[in-house]
Protein backbone atom coordinates (compact mmCIF):
# COMPACT_ATOMS: atom_id res chain seq x y z
CA UNK A 1 0.00 0.00 0.00
CA UNK A 2 1.33 3.45 -0.95
CA UNK A 3 0.82 6.29 1.45
CA UNK A 4 0.27 9.55 -0.37
CA UNK A 5 1.08 12.85 1.20
CA UNK A 6 -1.24 15.72 0.54
CA UNK A 7 0.13 18.20 -2.05
CA UNK A 8 3.14 15.98 -2.82
CA UNK A 9 3.75 14.57 -6.28
CA UNK A 10 5.03 10.98 -6.10
CA UNK A 11 7.51 11.65 -8.91
CA UNK A 12 8.99 14.76 -7.30
CA UNK A 13 11.58 12.77 -5.34
CA UNK A 14 12.79 11.07 -8.51
CA UNK A 15 13.13 14.39 -10.34
CA UNK A 16 15.02 15.95 -7.44
CA UNK A 17 17.39 12.96 -7.37
CA UNK A 18 17.90 13.19 -11.14
CA UNK A 19 18.59 16.93 -10.92
CA UNK A 20 21.19 16.39 -8.16
CA UNK A 21 22.92 13.69 -10.21
CA UNK A 22 23.00 15.90 -13.31
CA UNK A 23 24.38 18.84 -11.30
CA UNK A 24 27.10 16.57 -9.89
CA UNK A 25 27.93 15.34 -13.38
CA UNK A 26 28.27 18.84 -14.83
CA UNK A 27 30.27 20.05 -11.81
CA UNK A 28 32.72 17.19 -12.31
CA UNK A 29 32.99 17.92 -16.03
CA UNK A 30 33.61 21.63 -15.40
CA UNK A 31 36.34 20.88 -12.85
CA UNK A 32 38.12 18.48 -15.21
CA UNK A 33 37.64 20.43 -18.46
CA UNK A 34 40.63 22.57 -19.40
CA UNK A 35 39.85 26.25 -19.72
CA UNK A 36 41.07 28.37 -22.62
CA UNK A 37 43.77 29.72 -20.30
CA UNK A 38 45.07 26.20 -19.75
CA UNK A 39 44.98 25.58 -23.49
CA UNK A 40 47.23 28.61 -23.97
CA UNK A 41 49.59 27.55 -21.18
CA UNK A 42 49.91 24.02 -22.52
CA UNK A 43 50.58 25.21 -26.07
CA UNK A 44 47.44 23.85 -27.67
CA UNK A 45 46.39 27.29 -28.81
CA UNK A 46 49.84 28.72 -29.19
CA UNK A 47 50.57 31.21 -30.52
CA UNK A 48 47.56 33.36 -29.64
CA UNK A 49 46.53 35.36 -32.71
CA UNK A 50 44.40 38.23 -33.96
CA UNK A 51 43.16 38.21 -37.56
CA UNK A 52 42.33 41.57 -39.14
CA UNK A 53 41.18 42.64 -42.58
CA UNK A 54 41.85 46.04 -44.12
CA UNK A 55 41.85 47.32 -47.71
CA UNK A 56 42.84 44.28 -49.73
CA UNK A 57 44.85 42.49 -47.00
CA UNK A 58 44.47 40.13 -44.13
CA UNK A 59 46.82 40.73 -41.23
CA UNK A 60 47.61 38.12 -38.64
CA UNK A 61 49.30 39.18 -35.42
CA UNK A 62 50.77 36.29 -33.45
CA UNK A 63 52.43 36.57 -30.04
CA UNK A 64 55.56 34.42 -30.07
CA UNK A 65 57.89 35.69 -27.34
CA UNK A 66 61.21 33.97 -26.81
CA UNK A 67 61.54 32.64 -30.36
CA UNK A 68 64.02 34.02 -32.88
CA UNK A 69 62.65 35.19 -36.23
CA UNK A 70 64.73 32.67 -38.21
CA UNK A 71 63.25 29.83 -36.13
CA UNK A 72 59.67 30.59 -37.23
CA UNK A 73 58.39 28.71 -40.27
CA UNK A 74 55.45 30.07 -42.27
CA UNK A 75 53.67 28.26 -45.08
CA UNK A 76 50.51 28.82 -47.09
CA UNK A 77 48.64 26.08 -48.85
CA UNK A 78 45.38 27.03 -50.52
CA UNK A 79 43.48 29.10 -47.96
CA UNK A 80 45.38 27.85 -44.91
CA UNK A 81 48.31 29.58 -43.23
CA UNK A 82 50.51 27.51 -40.91
CA UNK A 83 52.87 28.91 -38.27
CA UNK A 84 55.47 26.47 -36.86
CA UNK A 85 58.31 26.84 -34.44
CA UNK A 86 59.79 25.80 -31.14
CA UNK A 87 60.25 27.56 -27.83
CA UNK A 88 63.35 26.18 -26.20
CA UNK A 89 63.56 25.78 -22.41
CA UNK A 90 65.75 28.13 -20.44
CA UNK A 91 68.99 26.53 -19.35
CA UNK A 92 69.69 27.50 -15.78
CA UNK A 93 72.43 26.38 -13.44
CA UNK A 94 72.49 23.04 -11.64
CA UNK A 95 71.72 24.64 -8.28
CA UNK A 96 68.53 26.35 -9.48
CA UNK A 97 65.08 25.05 -8.64
CA UNK A 98 61.78 26.54 -9.69
CA UNK A 99 59.40 28.02 -7.16
CA UNK A 100 56.77 28.52 -9.87
CA UNK A 101 56.92 27.53 -13.53
CA UNK A 102 54.23 28.84 -15.89
CA UNK A 103 56.14 29.54 -19.10
CA UNK A 104 55.83 26.63 -21.48
CA UNK A 105 58.33 25.36 -24.00
CA UNK A 106 58.32 22.89 -26.85
CA UNK A 107 57.35 22.81 -30.49
CA UNK A 108 54.15 24.45 -31.69
CA UNK A 109 52.08 24.59 -34.85
CA UNK A 110 49.00 26.67 -35.55
CA UNK A 111 46.97 26.60 -38.76
CA UNK A 112 44.57 29.38 -39.64
CA UNK A 113 41.89 29.01 -42.31
CA UNK A 114 41.39 32.19 -44.30
CA UNK A 115 37.95 33.03 -45.68
CA UNK A 116 39.40 34.10 -49.05
CA UNK A 117 42.30 33.22 -51.33
CA UNK A 118 45.47 35.22 -50.84
CA UNK A 119 48.28 36.06 -53.24
CA UNK A 120 51.00 33.79 -51.84
CA UNK A 121 53.73 35.52 -53.90
CA UNK A 122 53.18 38.81 -52.06
CA UNK A 123 52.92 37.62 -48.44
CA UNK A 124 55.09 39.58 -46.02
CA UNK A 125 56.09 38.95 -42.41
CA UNK A 126 57.63 41.19 -39.76
CA UNK A 127 58.75 40.16 -36.27
CA UNK A 128 59.19 42.82 -33.60
CA UNK A 129 59.14 42.64 -29.80
CA UNK A 130 57.81 39.07 -29.79
CA UNK A 131 54.88 39.85 -32.14
CA UNK A 132 54.84 38.34 -35.63
CA UNK A 133 52.80 40.39 -38.13
CA UNK A 134 51.91 38.56 -41.33
CA UNK A 135 50.40 40.53 -44.23
CA UNK A 136 48.43 38.44 -46.70
CA UNK A 137 47.27 40.39 -49.79
CA UNK A 138 44.01 39.14 -51.23
CA UNK A 139 44.20 37.40 -54.57
CA UNK A 140 42.60 39.83 -57.02
CA UNK A 141 41.91 37.04 -59.53
CA UNK A 142 39.66 35.20 -57.08
CA UNK A 143 37.63 38.31 -56.23
CA UNK A 144 34.26 39.21 -57.67
CA UNK A 145 34.21 40.02 -61.36
CA UNK A 146 31.60 40.96 -63.89
CA UNK A 147 30.69 38.38 -66.52
CA UNK A 148 29.15 39.58 -69.75
CA UNK A 149 26.28 37.70 -71.29
CA UNK A 150 26.37 37.19 -75.03
CA UNK A 151 23.37 36.85 -77.32
CA UNK A 152 22.94 34.43 -80.18
pLDDT at 27 over 80: no
Looking at the fold, whether 74 and 118 belong to one and the same domain comes out as yes
pTM of the model: 0.61
pLDDT at 147 over 70: no
The answer as to whether 118 is a domain residue is: yes
The answer as to whether 149 is a domain residue is: no
Counting the structural domains of the chain, the total is: 2
Give the closest residue to 105 by CA, choosing from 15, 41, 29, 58. 41
The pLDDT, as a whole number, for residue 120 is: 81
- For residues 116 and 56, the answer to whether their CB atoms sit within 8 Å is no
Give the closest residue to 84 by CA, choosing from 93, 98, 73. 73
Query: Which of the pair, 150 or 82, is modelled with greater confidence?
Result: 82
Looking at the fold, whether 50 and 30 belong to one and the same domain comes out as no
Q: How many residues does the chain have?
A: 152
Q: Which residues contact 21 (CB under 8 A, 6 or more apart)?
A: none
The answer as to whether 66 is a domain residue is: yes
The answer as to whether 148 is a domain residue is: no
Distance (Å, rounded) from C-alpha 90 to C-alpha 66? 10
Which tens digit of pLDDT belongs to each residue from 83-129? 999 988 888 878 888 778 777 788 889 998 887 888 888 889 999 99
Q: What mean pLDDT is predicted for residues 134-148?
A: 73
Looking at the fold, whether 47 and 36 belong to one and the same domain comes out as no
* Region of residue 137 (phi > 0: left; psi between -120 and 50: alpha; otherwise: beta): beta
Looking at the fold, whether 137 and 62 belong to one and the same domain comes out as yes
The answer as to whether 116 is a domain residue is: yes
- For residue 108, CA distances in Å to 3, 17, 28, 47, 123 come to 65, 46, 30, 8, 21
Looking at the fold, whether 33 and 52 belong to one and the same domain comes out as no
Q: What mean pLDDT is predicted for residues 26-49?
A: 59
Looking at the fold, whether 22 and 74 belong to one and the same domain comes out as no
Domain that holds residue 136: 43-92+102-141
Helix count (H) and strand count (E) of the chain? Answer: 2, 7
Query: Which of the pair, 142 or 83, is modelled with greater confidence?
Result: 83
State the Cα torsion 147-149-150-152 to the nearest 10°: 150
Looking at the fold, whether 61 and 125 belong to one and the same domain comes out as yes
The answer as to whether 4 is a domain residue is: no
pLDDT at 41 over 50: no
Amino acid sequence: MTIWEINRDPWLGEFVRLQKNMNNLFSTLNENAPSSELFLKRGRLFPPINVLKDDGNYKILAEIPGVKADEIELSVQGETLTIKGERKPEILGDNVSYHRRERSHGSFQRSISLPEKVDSDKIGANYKNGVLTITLPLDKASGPRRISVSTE
